[in-house]
Amino acid sequence: MSATTDHLGKRNVPFEVIPHDQAYTTVEEARAIGIAADEVLKTLVLKTRSGHALAVVLGSSRLDKRRAEKAVGDRHAHLATEEEMREAFPGFELGAIPPLGSLLGIPMCVDPEVLKHETVAFAAGSHTESVKIRTEDLLRDEPHTVAGLTREGKD
């Protein structure tokens, strides 16, 4: 079990593990597991004055920097560098951070477009394993803030 699946299991959250060929982008991950790119979550790590925060958007979306800054309450927030992510999250491959702020001990913001999907998938900490889960189950008991993070998102 990965730290991600172990964490979900301890929370009694139903999920499906999907092993797949190596995938480095959400589009590649979607193809590897046979779903649309907008059903795969992209978890971006933001560096803020107070530490890190997660920004969770659909794989087909692009993060809007100004909206992300507003969501985390820090106009100097920026995407964490690879080195910052390696240091802060050594047990996870770069680009495969799961949307689980409670596992990582950091706040999480979720774009409202994510909530429109009944099920979603996301990297489970590696580029060869994804988790498919009902959105409702993922976010149940998972501390998060819903905030527009993309140009398409609504506040």
Tens digits of residue pLDDT in 102-136: 999 999 999 999 999 999 999 999 999 999 999 99
Instruction: Take residue 135 and report the two structure tokens written for it.
Output: 């959105």
pLDDT for residue 152? 59
Q: 88: which DSSP letter?
A: H
Domains defined along the chain, listed by start:
3-146 (3.90.960.10)
User: What is the model's pTM?
Assistant: 0.93
pLDDT for residue 77? 95
Find all residues with CB under 8 Å of 148, minimum gap 6, and list them: 64, 67, 71, 111, 112, 154, 155
pLDDT for residue 153? 45
Of 28, 29, 70, nearest to 46 by C-alpha is 70
Of 69, 73, 65, 71, nearest to 147 by C-alpha is 71
Tens digits of residue pLDDT in 45-74: 999 999 999 999 999 999 999 999 999 999
